[in-house]
Amino acid sequence: MLTNKIKLANLPTRIEHLDRLSGELGKNIYIKRDDYTGIEFSGNKIRKLEYCLKEALDQGADTLITCGAVQSNHCRATVAAGVKLGLDSILYLRSPVREAPEGNYFLDKVLGAEVRHITPSDYSERRQEIMEAAALELEAQGRKAYLIPEGASNAIGTWGYYNAFMEILDQEKELSLDFDTIVTALGSGGTYAGLHFANEIGGHGKKVYGVPIVMDSEYFKKRVGEIWQEFSSYFEKSYKMEAEDMLMLDGFAGRGYGLNTPEEMDFIRDLARKEGLILDSVYTGKAFKGFVESIEKKEFSDSKNILFIHTGGLFGLFSKKFEFDL
């Protein structure tokens, strides 16, 4: 197990029972508050960055280069953590037009990131090449860059949620509880990958579900398989990760990445008013809605104690305020 990290997140994060929703759905529904990992470093990304940034410092980097959507939580967390560690950040943000700074993008600016906008087509086809060219430019100036892929969903970042799974096992002992099912959103795949690998490698027999908030399970099973290819180099023994063992709930990506339907916004509003819990519109809102609708369709009939990971993302919600019916 890799324990070589920089401590940035507030861990362990709390686990709470959702009383009213559990009563309505006839299941024990718990939520792990990974939205409480911090403020500037809040959400799931900081667990991955604790490992990536240790590697960056060990390699003598002075600048972090990463990429994401204009409202990327990962980019905001990277910049904030970079500032804390004395590292500059260059962000490649996917944006068809230059939007006014809002939400995470506003915080990127406040935190002093160098923001470079790239078109959606450059982002999907050439982002790695573009980031590598930027790293070479810095090198020519005598500086050293450390590249972090989208969402820090690479081998080293996967340790974040591998170890979050271990944290959950410790919390089960403290709470005298056994979570038979864990559910998380799937965005770039690393959160699900870490949880799934830890469950499979340790033979814990939990059902770990991912809910794609973009694309579908076919895409994510392939992506998680690729992350496994990289991550497996950390293990001496070989483990088999079969696509059919990856549990994913399709049909909840809605209108696509960062886009919402009125029903999704109503769901977020209604849950806020029921449980005092605020989900984001890009990831956790869609994933939690998919999870609740799947319970209603009896998808979780064998599950009794279910843990949903609140992976954060609240800052992005402020850019969507006009889409709510309040």
Residues noted as catalytic: 72
C-alpha to C-alpha distance for 110 and 43, rounded to whole angstroms: 19
163 interacts with ligand PLP by CB under 6 A: no
Burial 103-120 (b: 16+ CB within 10 A, else e): bbbbbbeebebebebbee
Residues 6+ apart with CB under 8 A from 275: 18, 19, 20, 21
Is residue 66 involved in binding ligand PLP (CB under 6 A)?
no
The answer to whether 212 contacts ligand PLP (rule: CB under 6 A) is no
Contact predicate 172/139, CB 8 Å: no
Report the alpha-carbon distance of residue 31 to residue 84 in Å, rounded: 29
Nearest to ligand PLP by Cβ — which residue?
187
d(CA 285, CA 290): 9
Rounded to whole angstroms, how far apart are CA atoms 55 and 60?
9
Q: What is the DSSP letter of 100?
A: P
Q: Which of 189, 212, 254, 285: binder of ligand PLP (CB under 6 A)?
A: 189
- The span of 92-100, 185-193, 231-239, 252-260 binding ligand PLP (CB under 6 A) equals 185-193
171 versus 311: smaller Cβ distance to ligand PLP:
311
Helices (H), the chain: 19-25, 45-58, 73-85, 103-110, 120-140, 155-175, 190-202, 217-231, 262-275, 284-296, 314-317
For residues 284-323, which are near ligand PLP according to CB under 6 A? 284, 311-313
Exactly one of 149, 190, 212, 290 binds ligand PLP (CB under 6 A); that residue is 190
Task: Report the residue number, 27 or 74, with the smaller CB distance to ligand PLP.
Answer: 74
User: Which of 82, 103, 149, 151 contacts ligand PLP by CB under 6 A?
Assistant: 151
Residue 51 near ligand PLP by CB under 6 A: no
The interface with ligand PLP within residues 221-280 (CB under 6 A) comprises: 280
Minimum CB separation from ligand PLP for residue 194, in Å? 8
User: At closest approach, how far in Å is the CB of 190 from ligand PLP?
Assistant: 4
Q: How far apart are CA 268 and CA 251, in angstroms?
A: 18
Nearer to ligand PLP, 62 or 106 (CB): 106
* Residues engaged in binding ligand PLP (CB under 6 A): 43-44, 73-74, 151, 153, 185-192, 280, 283-284, 311-313
